[in-house]
Amino acid sequence: MENEDAISAPSTPATPGTPGAPLFGGFKGDRGGIYGRSKSLLKSCKCFSVEEWATEEGRLPSVSCSLPPPPVSLARKVGAEFVGTMILIFAGTATAIVNQKTQGSETLIGLAASTGLGVMIVILSTGHISGAHLNPSVTIAFAALKHFPWKHVPMYVGAQVMASLCAAFALKGIFHPMMGGGVTVPSVGLGQAFALEFIISFNLMFVVTAVATDTRAVGELAGIAVGATVMLNILIAGYV
């Protein structure tokens, strides 16, 4: 360190979704990472002040250092997006099909809970790998906000579309010929349906961008926030 008398400020969590950092939570050395110039471990090491603790063996130092998490390859990120999207589409649609097949035993609350829990589980399990976008609109939104590289958008969107197709064919093979429950057809006019879809899409994107782009947000709670928003949207629009 150039100035040994000065204690460096606390390391700031990387803005989730930026290159080199997962979408939901985590820490990043700086804007470099695997997309910038390579750095040594010593240069990547970040130090921050902590409260001095007294122990039986002595006193712990008031400055602590940590290394950033190891970089994740693009192949692993795309693979995590594929698996996460397939789990979400399969779980949400399968619940709707079973609900119709059992004459509504799942109820609207069950449908909302199934999809919301699916979103939460996938975000908590793959968010630290790929960011758990799970939706082309989320990927494009983060790229437009400069929190995700545009050159990776086609691969992410391709993985999400392919995962959706695979989930659809899996559902067709399992539940054929009872497939009507997974079809969403509005029961109101086109204008009303459009307005409602616009509102619930705004709700979802607002929550996703709020918890994923602000470093002050608790990254570990992003899955709960997004999952709860999905549940709320389904409850709002489920009968329309």
Residue 202 has pLDDT above 50, yes or no: yes
9 versus 186: which is more confidently predicted?
A: 186
Is 82 a member of any domain? yes
Is 212 a member of any domain? yes
For residue 194, what is the domain's CATH number?
Answer: 1.20.1080.10
Chain Cα centroid distance, residue 48? 28
Alpha-helical regions (H) of 56-152: 74-101, 107-130, 136-144
Is 59 a member of any domain? no
Query: What is the count of structural domains for the chain?
Result: 1
Is 205 a member of any domain? yes
By mean pLDDT, which of 4-18, 39-53, 150-164, 184-198 is the weakest? Answer: 4-18
Q: Give per-residue pLDDT as tens, 85-141.
A: 999 999 888 888 888 888 888 888 888 888 899 999 998 888 888 888 899 988 998
Domain, as residue range, for 152:
74-237
Is 140 a member of any domain? yes
Q: What is the mean pLDDT of residues 205-223?
A: 76
Is 203 a member of any domain? yes
With contact defined as beta carbons under 8 Å apart, do 65 and 55 qualify? no
The confidence score (pLDDT) of residue 34 equals: 29
